[in-house]
Amino acid sequence: MKSHSRFKTPAVSVIVPVYNTAPYLRKCLDSLLNQTLTDMEIIVVDDGSTDGSDKIIDDYAKRFKRIVAIHKKNGGVASVYNVALRRARGKYIGIIDSDDWTNNKMFETLYEKAKETSANVVKSFAYWPERERKHKGKHTKRIAIPLNKCNRLIKDPLEISELIQGHPCHWTAIYNHRFLSKIKLKLTEKPKESAADIEFIYKVWLNLKSVYVVPKAFVHYRLDRPNAERNSNAKMSFRLINVHEIVRDYFLKEKADKTFWYIKTHSEFCHLKFELQQRCLTRRKEFIGELSKLFWANLEEDHFVTDFFSWKDLFLYHVIACFPFLYYLNDLTRFWITRPAIGGYVAKWRLFGLWRTERPGRLVPKKSKQTKYYILGVRVH
């Protein structure tokens, strides 16, 4: 392919938000500079880093013409996206987090499909790190969307909305720049109250007319960065509630189709349930209270549809919405029993949950034949 020139419109502009990622930044930038697609610009936005990331960015910008360095006061990821989108000149826009890295054929593969199909979005997948001890350090390819939805242009609103369920990560895709300009994409700049990636996903996918899914993984996702927002437990969990409220208001304003409403409601529930059960380990009473307000507001709307909910999830949704104190009581009454005699397995009991055995450290425990479901302490299955 022809080399990049500052005097023409590049094929792809890649946005790299940076905040205190100095140990990982060089690997990220090198993976972008080594792309087989050379007709691209790399917009690196330093959001007020204090660990020397700014010096690394300036060093790369001096040595490589394709890198555009932008320095700004700390304002959160949303402000970074807004600044970079105004500066970007590419026909398509990509996003890579500065602590991740990507395979060198990613943007050529996605851009060729974009030219071929003229899709608003061309999406791929990622390699996720294994958390189990015996596989620690390895990355596994995850294709989270059914293969019958891949390798074809999707225009049906129901199919497009269902893709949010399967793999919502915004940094595995490229987005048509004209399309983003047409929908006037602008993210909410409240650094202590927002989660820009979720807001970006819903605002973009609500307006999509076409998407093409490539069943290949390119980005290597990192989970082990100590000061990453995703590891900040309760603080991040409260941000997620706020951003779901922002998205809800946006859906109301844009008069979203009913299809998107029930996909949004269910994916929102799954997302926040994960936060509640796996990450938000402090300030739980307050978090459950805020969750109750959001769920209650959804129930009051005509748009709430139960099609995608299992009966257990629907029951849990109503308990949190109507009786948050009961759910909090469930938290207070849970207990753990360790059984070293059966190989370190742990049994866990919850009022609004299940009795199950699981291996310590497993991210999503597999259900076994021993799984038993309880509601208010009474076995129902």
Residue 369 near residue 357, CB atoms below 8 Å: no
Structure tokens at 80: 């970074």
Which pLDDT score, from 0 to 100, does residue 285 have? Answer: 80
pLDDT digits (tens, 9 = 90+) for 43-64: 999 999 999 999 999 999 999 9
CA pseudo-torsion sign 147, 153, 159, 163: positive
- Could you give the C-alpha distances from 34 to 31, 38, 107, 219, 279, in angstroms and in order? 5, 8, 11, 14, 36
pLDDT digits (tens, 9 = 90+) for 134-162: 444 555 556 566 677 788 899 887 777 77
Residue 49 near residue 117, CB atoms below 8 Å: no
Cα 195 → chain centroid: 9
Question: CATH 3.90.550.10 region(s) of the chain?
Answer: 12-231
Exposed/middle/buried for residue 236 (C-beta within 10 Å: 0-12, 13-18, 19+): middle
Which pLDDT score, from 0 to 100, does residue 328 have? Answer: 78
* Multiple choice CATH, 12-231, 3.30.1360.100, 3.30.420.10, 3.40.640.10, 3.90.550.10: 3.90.550.10
Residue 57: CB atoms within 10 Å? 25
- How far apart are alpha carbons 75 and 194 in whole angstroms? 11
H/E stretch holding 195 reads none
pLDDT digits (tens, 9 = 90+) for 271-283: 777 777 655 556 7
